[in-house]
Amino acid sequence: MTKMKKFSGKTVDEATEIALKEMGVELEEIDIKVDNPGRSGIMGFGGEPAEITVTLLQSKKTTKTQKKSVAKNKKEKKSDVKPKESKNFTPKDDESTKSESSENIQEVEQLSSELLDYFLSSIGVVADTYIREDSNSSRVSFEIEGEDSALLIGKRGETLQSIQFLVRMITSKQLGRKSNIQIDIEDYRRRRVRTLRNIARNLAKEVIESGEERTLEPMSPVDRRIIHVALSKNSKIVTESEGKGRDRFVVVKPK
């Protein structure tokens, strides 16, 4: 029998996180219907909470088995990352065939690694930092794991974005060239993308069925782009960004 349950929060994203924690499932195991996208109101008055209906697509028994498997293989998760060395972080390679591009990447790795370590220690955060293998050969990707991960991520990833911006900016200034650096915490970025894509698909379905437009909460430029791209191939709806500054949001409209 299909299990359905309603959840609410300040935003659709918050309501979704509450549902995942309370039901003990992953995003892929549920279907989300946005009953009310909510609104913030003015000066704290007149706002409405976001409301969603969650349908469990998979039995909890299966979910527990999956979680147990994930816990058992947690160490294997780091198979795609390599521990960051505190000393001799960038071994010197005297071979003449070594490209200038490779040397530049190693310089970025070493400097940004030191900056990230300094920043975390200066705010009293104890965490493990890894360099993740990246499909983009020109980008240096860090993964941070620790007990204070939620603190480092912040609301909708704003703190994480600030940390990445500072490390990228200082590294670029010190080296005198643009440095492509990405920082992730407890795989937050991938989870965030999955959440937004799921919300976008379900919202588009509602728009098509009702023939009425729907709005999402204010989002960062990165999150809005994820929504736009996720629905770009849907010929029955169109997405637009409205509002100004930090209050810009996505509107999904029927064609």
pLDDT in tens, the chain (255 residues): 567 889 988 777 778 888 888 888 877 778 788 787 776 554 344 567 888 888 887 554 444 444 444 434 444 444 454 445 444 444 445 454 345 577 888 899 999 999 998 888 888 888 888 888 777 778 899 999 988 778 888 888 888 988 999 999 999 999 999 999 999 998 898 899 999 999 999 999 999 999 999 999 998 888 999 999 999 999 999 999 999 888 899 999 999
Q: For 142, list phi and psi in degrees, rounded to 5.
A: -110, 145
Domain 189-255 has CATH 3.20.20.100: no
For 77-110, b/e burial (b = at least 16 CB within 10 A) is: eeeebeebeeeeeeeeeeeeeeeeeeeebbbbbb
How far apart are alpha carbons 25 and 47 in whole angstroms? Answer: 29
Helix-, strand-, coil-residue percentages of the chain, each rounded to 5: 45, 25, 30
- Tokens 């588009």 belong to 204
Its CATH architecture, for the domain 78-186, is 2-Layer Sandwich (3.30)
pTM here is: 0.56
Q: Is there a common fold for 78-186 and 189-255?
A: no
Q: What are the residue boundaries of the structural domains of the chain, listed by start?
A: 1-72, 78-186, 189-255
What token pair was written down for 116?
Answer: 């990230």
